[in-house]
Structure 1
Amino acid sequence: VYWQQLKLWLKSEKLPRIEELLQIAGAQSISLADAGCVQLLESAPGQTPLWPKMILTAIFPCDADLKTLVPLITKTLQPDASISTTRLEEENWTSAWCKKSTTVRHFGKRLAISTLDAPLEESGTVTVKMNPGLAFGTGEHPTTGLCLEWLDQNLPAGARVLDYGCGSGILAIAALRLGARFAWAVDIEKQAVNATKNNAAINTVS
């Protein structure tokens, strides 16, 4: 099983027609990114500002007919059409992440998040070993990374921490390893609870 990715560069005024063509062709997802250096600040209620020039990425099932779609898009975008297609093999992201057996990411001055088989860190480093399973939370997402940096730099000794929507338990476990007295990890997903329990055992915290 594989997916097809279509990527193109376009001006904002062309977007409605392009989105219509993509949806008719069976696009499963459509994402937009800035193609220049234009910063969009928070908009007023009811407004959806767009970058003047954008990179659009669409994902299609393997049986979607992109050979028919691409000429239609090219005609719509003329004279400056720039389109590429890529075959994406389906991958189990959990297995792929776990195969990165030497991955270590540092947050702040002391904290390191590593995969299970990564080499030991230097003395003075607080290491949290993670196996996320099917739960969210490896330290790679920017929001998680910012939270980990904050914990490393600001967590008072003996603090009590609530990790609400804990995913893999990464924040609660990191807090305990950094000196929190208690940490409560809460999630409605059974897979997240199981992953948190497993990671807590790996890091000898509870």
Structure 2
Amino acid sequence: MSWLELSLTLRSDQQEAVEAALEDVGALAVTLLDADADTSNEQAILEPAVGETPLWSLIVLSALFEAETDRSGLIHVLGELIPELEPGQIAFREVADQDWTRVWMDQFKPMQFGERLWIYPWNIEPPANSGNTVIVRLDPGLAFGTGTHPTTALCLEWLDQADLGGKTVIDYGCGSGVLAIAAALLGAADVIGIDNDPQAIEASRDNATRNGVADRIQLRLPNVDERTPADLLVANILAGPLYELAPLFARHVRPGGLLALSGILGGQESDLLERYSEWFEDLQVSKREDWVRIDGKRRTDIH
């Protein structure tokens, strides 16, 4: 069986609308690459989290469709969204099953976060004797986040160094479930994954089942009240929602509990530090590339 791959170069501000439109007309998977990078060394962002826009100014977007998809219909959809786009800027090619699998294998390799934690794609087997290594297995073709993005990496490293044994953890904006699954495999007794996208909930549920931790992960939409205080809360979303959600997060984290926030661009941390200092102390900033993680501890002198 073969597939149809569409690719084009676009500005980062066009990415969200184009990606949504292509998904509406049947895109099965989307890959984003930096148009200005050396593609031999560049790792793809595979189906980025909802609302997440890559930092790159120009993006090469590739979308996979069933082989019989009408090419002229796709060109029409893109022409409506980007009037200045010339048909010649859109490239199509047929991709065999084995070729598409090789693309995933080339662009998504095992990655280590901290001392113990690794992310492995399903098409690569980890070593038989892994010792104390904790391995999360993900299908890169289905995930909304695989660890390739700096914000995810910052959160995974924070979880790796935390004492999660027997603890309750909230993963707010769970996407693929990678952080929730990592927390469970690192010893958390209960994990609550929250996302406003039902497709993300399904992806998280599927990945949790594959990793054998579905019995310890509750998945839900944010409008369902959860009154159990968490020992740790991690949220990898965007600076705007993080600012608005500060009072909610303060209610969700028990006094003395821990918090980690990411999805924050460098330069956005000052307002968040001031906002969260009302409820949290020992706030620290960690940076990777152009992105920031803020972590701290819930104050015990206020409720």
Query: What is the TM-score with the length of structure 1 in the denominator?
Result: 0.55
Deviation at 1:134, TM superposition (A): 4.5
Instruction: Find the aligned partners of 1:91 and 1:166 in 2 and give their Cα distance.
Output: 33
Which protein shows a greater Rg? 1
Instruction: Give the equivalent residue in structure 2 for 1:113.
Output: 119
Q: CA deviation at 1:133?
A: 5.1
Pair 1:182-2:190 in alignment: yes
- Following TM superposition, by how much is the alpha carbon of 1:120 offset from its aligned partner in structure 2, in angstroms? 1.8
Answering whether residue 167 of structure 2 is matched by residue 159 of structure 1, we say: yes
* Residue of structure 1 equivalent to 2:9: 5
Cα distance change of structure 1 residues 56 and 204 upon mapping to structure 2, 3 Å threshold: closer
Counterpart selection for 2:206 from 172, 186, 198: 198
1:205 aligned partner, one-letter code: V
Q: Which has the higher contact order (CA 8 A, sep 6+)?
A: 1
For residue 193 of structure 1, report the CA deviation from its aligned partner.
1.1
Deviation at 1:145, TM superposition (A): 0.6
**Displacement of 1:115 after TM fit?**
0.6
- AA of the residue aligned to 2:120: S
1:99 corresponds to 2:107: no
Deviation at 1:159, TM superposition (A): 1.8
1:77 alignment counterpart: none
Tell me the distance in 2 between the aligned counterparts of 1:193 and 1:152.
23
Give 1:188's aligned amino acid.
Answer: N
User: What SS is found at the alignment partner of 2:196?
Assistant: coil
- Given that 2:120 and 2:126 are in contact with CA atoms closer than 8 Å, whether structure 1 keeps it comes out as no
2:118–2:134 contact (8 Å) kept in structure 1:
yes
User: In the superposition, relative to structure 1, how do residues 159 and 90 fare at CA in structure 2: closer, same or farther (>3 Å)?
Assistant: farther
Aligned partner of 2:48 in structure 1 is none
- Find the residue that maps to 1:100 and give its secondary structure: helix
Partners in 1 of 2:141 and 2:59 — Cα distance?
A: 27
Give unpaired runs (5+ residues) of structure 2: 20-33, 37-55, 62-74, 80-84, 215-303
Percent sequence identity over matched residues? 39
**How much does 1:200 deviate?**
0.9
With the length of structure 2 as denominator, give the TM-score of the two structures. 0.39
